Chains A and B, each alone.
Chain A
């Protein structure tokens, strides 16, 4: 699911193959609804597990797959029946994607609401009652939009965005700017979208989408970390992105100039923070080794040297690599 992992698995056989792998499996796992009312349980017949296979999908290969799905068994599950039932299921996904994509046009006027989706369904030529079958209706629309933006971003990165000449912080700023600019047409209704995403039922999906977005940006910047650093980097970038997004809501400046300045400041802050943390880590490591060596009762000549070396270093209140002169002093 994540580009870094996929690339490593494929042995770096071209970024192209990595993206092909990512696009066609589902971008998100299906959400199985839990019984949130007593005595209710849902099952579905005919299978809802696959997205359409192959690259012959339309311009928009992502599927808003939030519909209820658990087992994909029909009671009389013969082979041909199962294949047939898979095709219609894919058709519903396509139809849903079509309706949601048409509804986006009505969002600036009607908001992220059922009305926008019903207007969208009328545009496509489908009865508005299909909207009643979308799970978590408004959330479906918002999540579809987020997926679309992520896909657009990935396309832009693949089609040769000039990132090599920029330092990492500038690259990140550029990518976040590109992504946030996609939201500009919907800015008047974006607070509503944020509140929909913050709703307890929808938090899980929106969190996952943001995690994917952040991972995508780091991957494009050229990050190869895989340990604890990976989480820290993504968390910080997630924070930068969210704060900029919220700042943008109240920004009236021309072409959102203030927002981009804010973004640059935040990215700079993040990188400065990283440097500060690195410095603290080095210092601590040294003082620990000093502690340990000072507590040993038996120490050899080498230890003695080391202890004196540390003493001189600390006395100087400096933590520099050029403590070599002190060493020479001791040894001579």
Chain B
């Protein structure tokens, strides 16, 4: 009896080790800490977001203590949107970033301070692309609440970050906030981003990332693995999805590695900025 339990424990430890080693460098086959086939990953991720769509915004607020709003503001500030720009927000289903960009361009204060050509205002196009139609519906609903239902500037498109339906060299800006982690092949998404951007266009990615500060790291891990799945269960009624969320953060490449991946895709002036000690990082690059 004792021998069997020992062998089971040893066996499981060896199995874990082997699977951990095998999946050390593969984002494409990791679904959190689980191993899945590549073809299945996008379906599983799709399921996650279908489940969480309705409570996505509330959960964001609770998990980050409202900080996610500041992070998105920072992202849009870095982008410096201008009137007449064609912008693509990928995996931005519920429209957080898109609405901020819209406000930044159309704000009355900005138009008063700077000489803005009204004709170029008309040309502004903000495309919101998401693979999950449920998330897009939530976004459209929020647009309607703001009175932007029939606004020509906001366009909601269903699409895959790895195979965008936009033309080459057509976008001035590309943002992806908290979405690139869920993509099966990060390199493909980056290559697509490079393709659709115009010369001089900017790529900005806001993503949960790795914390290195010693004590803070432990606190953050504790919070991630103990508190968040519980909150997920309480508020969204879905523990597994939020377990996937925190695990996928750990599996995502660290800041430097991701920056080198962006540089490999062809972008220049690749930089990253850590917010809250590395909990969130904004990576940026320019296509030249």
A130 touches B200 (CB 8 A): yes
Q: Closest CB of chain B to A263's CB: distance in Å? A: 35
Q: Which of A37-45, A52-60, A145-153 contacts B (4 or more CB under 8 A)?
A: A37-45
- The 8 Å CB contact of A132, one of B198, B199, B202, B272, is B202
A91 and B268 in contact, given A118-B82, A127-B198 (Cβ under 8 angstroms): yes
Q: Is the CB of B273 within 8 A of A92?
A: no
Q: Does A75 contact B (CB under 8 A)?
A: yes
- Are B260's CB and A45's CB within 8 A? yes
Contact yes or no, A39 B268, CB < 8 A? no
Q: Which of B3-11, B42-50, B129-137, B274-282 contacts A (4 or more CB under 8 A)?
A: B274-282
Residues of chain B from 238 to 273 with CB closer than 8 A to chain A in the complex: 254-257, 259-260, 263, 268-273
Are A129 and B202 in contact, with the CB atoms below 8 A? yes
Question: Is the CB of B115 closer than 8 A to any CB of chain A?
Answer: yes
The reply to whether A92 and B268 contact each other, CB–CB distance below 8 Å, is yes
B82 touches A75 (CB 8 A): no
Tell me if B32 counts as interface (CB < 8 A to partner A): no
The minimal Cβ–Cβ distance linking A46 to chain B, given in whole angstroms, is 6
Q: Which residues of B contact A67 (CB under 8 A)?
A: 269
Measured CA separation A74–B201 after assembly (Å): 23
Q: Are A40 and B275 in contact (CB under 8 A)?
A: yes
Max chain B CB contacts within 10 Å: which of A39, A44, A113, A129? Answer: A129
**B85 at interface, CB cutoff 8 A:** yes
Tell me the minimal C-beta distance from A129 to chain B in angstroms.
4
Residue A88 at the B interface, CB < 8 A? yes
Question: Of residues 61 to 117 in A, which have CB atoms within 8 Å of B's CB atoms?
Answer: 67-68, 73-76, 85, 88-89, 91-92, 95, 110, 113-115
State whether A41 touches B273 (Cβ < 8 A): yes
Contact check, B256 vs A130: say whether CB atoms are below 8 A apart.
no
Distance from A99 Cβ to chain B, minimum over Cβ atoms (Å): 8
Residues of B within 8 A of A51 (CB): none
Known pairs A76-B260, A127-B199, A133-B284; A115 contacts B274 (CB<8 A): no
Q: What 1/0 mask marks residues of chain B from 227 to 245 whose CB sits below 8 Å from any chain A CB?
A: 0000000000000000000
For chain A, the count of residues having a C-beta within 8 Å of the partner chain is: 37
User: Chain A residue with minimal CB distance to B197?
Assistant: A127
Q: Indicate with 1 or 0, residue by residue over A113-157, a CB within 8 angstroms of chain B CB atoms.
A: 111001001000111111111000100000000000000000000
- The answer to whether A114 and B114 have CB atoms under 8 Å apart is yes
Q: Would you give the 0/1 interface string for B100-128, flagging 1 where the beta carbon is closer than 8 Å to chain A?
A: 00000000000000110000000000000
B57 CB to nearest chain A CB (Å): 24
The answer to whether the Cβ of B92 comes within 8 Å of any Cβ in the partner chain is no
Known A-B contacts A121-B200, A130-B286; A75 and B260 likewise in contact (beta carbons under 8 Å)? yes
A132 CA / B288 CA spacing, docked (Å): 14
Q: Are A132 and B78 in contact (CB under 8 A)?
A: yes
Point out the residues of chain B lying under 8 angstroms from A91, CB to CB. 268, 288
Bound-state Cα–Cα, A74 to B202, Å: 20
Q: Are B257 and A126 in contact (CB under 8 A)?
A: no
Is the pair A127, B268 in contact by a Cβ cutoff of 8 Å? no
Interface string of B67-97 (1 = CB under 8 A from A): 0000000000011101001000000000000
Whether A39 contacts B276 in the complex (CB less than 8 A), given A45-B260, A88-B268, comes out as yes
- Is the Cβ of A45 less than 8 Å from the Cβ of B271? yes
Most B CB contacts (10 A, CB to CB) among A67, A95, A132 go to A132
Shortest distance from the beta carbon of B159 to any chain A beta carbon, whole Å? 21
B172 contacts A by Cβ under 8 Å:
yes
- Residues of chain A lying within 8 A (CB to CB) of residue B276: 39
Footprint of A on B, CB under 8 Å? 78-80, 82, 85, 114-115, 172-173, 197-202, 254-257, 259-260, 263, 268-277, 284, 286, 288
Question: Given contacts A68-B271, A127-B198, A132-B78, could you give 9 more A-B pairs where the C-beta distance is less than 8 Å?
Answer: A46-B270, A74-B263, A91-B268, A91-B288, A95-B288, A110-B115, A128-B82, A129-B79, A129-B201
- 4 shortest A-B CB distances, which residue pairs? A132-B80, A126-B200, A127-B200, A130-B200
Can you list 12 A-B pairs, Cβ within 8 angstroms, ordered by A? Answer: A39-B274, A42-B272, A44-B272, A45-B263, A45-B270, A46-B270, A75-B257, A95-B200, A115-B115, A128-B82, A129-B79, A132-B78
